[in-house]
Structure 1
């Protein structure tokens, strides 16, 4: 692939993955028709904030946006990384929306990354920080990213005013390891955390009892602890929710979550999260729906060997991502249906991506 040639995209779908792919490959991209036919055209504030975060991690990147925000050009620089970084994620999208992208690019920076993100820690439109810590980050260990990887919740922040704060640390790697995430095993236990800010300590207990009322019917080993924040550590708004994780005998993790919104009572939040978790387990993939994109993208960046991963139903964003991977990396996933488990096994040969910014030890 020539780095002097720009890739052209239209629309705002999988915006983060386009920027990530451009950053990793060093190829400039142009995106046009960004919500051009809507009442409020152009980039949203959280997308502009995401670009500012990439700027903080990079040296020499160029971002050009037209007056209406419907067209932009991004020319990546060198991923420098660094410690002591800070970024305000705003109040439109949760911190998890930004962290998902960081998990894809931070391992390939020149220096280890330590960044403090502020904003909303738990909400319905993006993964909460608890699910990222307990489900998404362990997936990176399969690729050889483990020592020094940390996500610590310093303050909770619920909608609408946020006020949450998390510290994210990530080591750098020279290359990734090919993965074979096919053998699922059987679910052996469920763990989780029910969190609450600026509400009665009894609220998360009610959430836990409600979730366990369903999960204990199918599995005896269920433990959900409570995490109650108050004072300055509770953020600027009251809120509560729960994050659940199902673990199998082969180390497969499924995540599901629910946050209180629209006047939902604690019992409803617990029931919703438990049903979502059972739905994820029933789909039969090694990776749950929310983390399909991260695994597929990292597998492409592996050495020139075959990586395989079992997935359940592909989400619409995953399908778009597979097409983008074909266009940017020149890699086409081989998809084989497994009728016995009603799942899909996706395999590809990595492009042999190496972190050229990282010095040889």
Structure 2
């Protein structure tokens, strides 16, 4: 065996993407100076949990972390996939943080992936499990991923701080991804949504739905927001509520927005006495805000919303060696980071052209042609 060459990286930024692209491209990495100058240096609990998740779905990988957690050596193994896998996600990030890389890893695994994830299902920081189900999975289908075997089942809700949620994710394997020309965002033909409430009154859901519908009903007739009030074990360990909305267009695009309010969350930086805490906004305001946020995402244009730009570019870069061309709204900071990481690991460069007439951006690339070398040929 030859000596392993490690790509040298610094800092904590793009940790999840670097890990994913390292695994897919089979390039070993060393990351130094991970939050070295911060009060609490090193990897966070959710990043350590993500490393363990990669070890769960891959074989023969090598992970070495120094005592302070400020340096990581990672040599990727074979992406195996497999059935009946279980992972307890760290409660500092929601399940959505772990699902995005899992979706891509699963496509290039040796066997179909079926994994049970436990933790927080809905949190304002990451896409909720509802948004992943209503929007993210549809994006994968554009690239030739079959519907059969691609599913996210919500078995229990869980909000911060104590979680208690549970989902079952299944991802099929593909020999390769199909390149796309995805330029037409179309016109919104309907709005769909999902509210949930756990360990609180269902009135929170009524308020959010009524407020959101009050905005949408002035714009189009086909609006339906479903309710999901859960109790007992299905409600997890902390009280909270939330809403996920998706605008479906006549060209097959799904634009989403969501948020969650956790009534049990204790902010990490909070030093105020209980009496000094600011009053929590009414649930109706939450419905108003997410509905307005969704309309802003639609107004920006593009075939995906800001949250999904990074995933879209990653899938384009992993496609067969053919041209992919996509239209998005204003590039989000996370999407710009994604483009840099793709260039570094996959050596794929995107041609970026603003379209002044629509305020959108058109990105073109030739895919890396990454084949699924792990998958058994039938």
TM-score with structure 1 setting the length: 0.97
Whether 1:278 and 2:295 are equivalent positions in the alignment is yes
How far apart are 1:8 and its partner, in Å? Answer: 1.6
Once the two structures are superposed, residues 83-124 of structure 1 have per-residue CA deviations (whole angstroms, 9 ceiling, x without a partner) of 000000021100010001111111100000000000000011
Name the CA distance, whole Å, in 2 between partners of 1:182 and 1:91.
38
Name the CA distance, whole Å, in 2 between partners of 1:214 and 1:58.
46
Secondary structure at 1:347's aligned position in 2?
strand
What is aligned with 2:276? none
Secondary structure at 2:227's aligned position in 1?
strand
What is aligned with 2:169? 168
What is aligned with 2:136? 136
What is aligned with 1:179? 180
How far apart are 1:261 and its partner, in Å? Answer: 4.4
Name the CA distance, whole Å, in 2 between partners of 1:348 and 1:295.
12
How far apart are 1:212 and its partner, in Å? Answer: 1.0
What is aligned with 1:288? 305
What does 1:139-218 align with in structure 2 at a 5 Å threshold?
A: 139-146=139-146, 147-218=148-219
Q: Would the aligned equivalents of 1:113 and 1:170 in 2 still touch at CA under 8 Å?
A: yes
TM-score with structure 2 setting the length: 0.93
Counterpart pick for 1:342 among 359, 367, 370: 359
Whether 1:332 and 2:349 are equivalent positions in the alignment is yes
Secondary structure at 1:260's aligned position in 2?
strand
How far apart are 1:357 and its partner, in Å? Answer: 1.0
Name the CA distance, whole Å, in 2 between partners of 1:9 and 1:288.
29
Aligned residues: 360
Whether 1:103 and 2:120 are equivalent positions in the alignment is no
Name the CA distance, whole Å, in 1 between partners of 2:336 and 2:360.
15
How far apart are 1:327 and its partner, in Å? Answer: 1.3
Once the two structures are superposed, residues 101-160 of structure 1 have per-residue CA deviations (whole angstroms, 9 ceiling, x without a partner) of 111111100000000000000011111100011011110001111221000000000111
Q: Would the aligned equivalents of 2:43 and 2:70 in 1 still touch at CA under 8 Å?
A: yes
Whether 1:24 and 2:24 are equivalent positions in the alignment is yes
Name the CA distance, whole Å, in 1 between partners of 2:336 and 2:43.
23
What does 1:255-334 align with in structure 2 at a 5 Å threshold?
A: 255-261=256-262, 263-334=280-351
Moved more, 49-58 or 27-36: 27-36
Structure 2: 5+ residue stretches without partners: 264-279
Name the CA distance, whole Å, in 1 between partners of 2:373 and 2:9.
27
Secondary structure at 1:16's aligned position in 2?
helix
Q: Would the aligned equivalents of 1:258 and 1:270 in 2 still touch at CA under 8 Å?
A: no
How far apart are 1:45 and its partner, in Å? Answer: 0.2
Q: Would the aligned equivalents of 1:3 and 1:28 in 2 still touch at CA under 8 Å?
A: no
Name the CA distance, whole Å, in 2 between partners of 1:301 and 1:267.
42
Q: Would the aligned equivalents of 1:244 and 1:257 in 2 still touch at CA under 8 Å?
A: yes
How far apart are 1:358 and its partner, in Å? Answer: 0.7
Name the CA distance, whole Å, in 2 between partners of 1:33 and 1:139.
35
RMSD: 1.3
Q: Would the aligned equivalents of 1:83 and 1:115 in 2 still touch at CA under 8 Å?
A: yes
Q: Would the aligned equivalents of 1:41 and 1:68 in 2 still touch at CA under 8 Å?
A: yes
Once the two structures are superposed, residues 170-199 of structure 1 have per-residue CA deviations (whole angstroms, 9 ceiling, x without a partner) of 100111111111111111110000111111
How far apart are 1:3 and its partner, in Å? Answer: 9.5
What is aligned with 1:71? 71
Secondary structure at 2:316's aligned position in 1?
helix
What is aligned with 1:243? 244
Q: Would the aligned equivalents of 2:238 and 2:262 in 1 still touch at CA under 8 Å?
A: no
What does 1:26-105 align with in structure 2 at a 5 Å threshold?
A: 26-105=26-105
- Tell me: CA distance 1:113–1:98, structure 2 relative to 1, closer, same or farther (3 Å): same
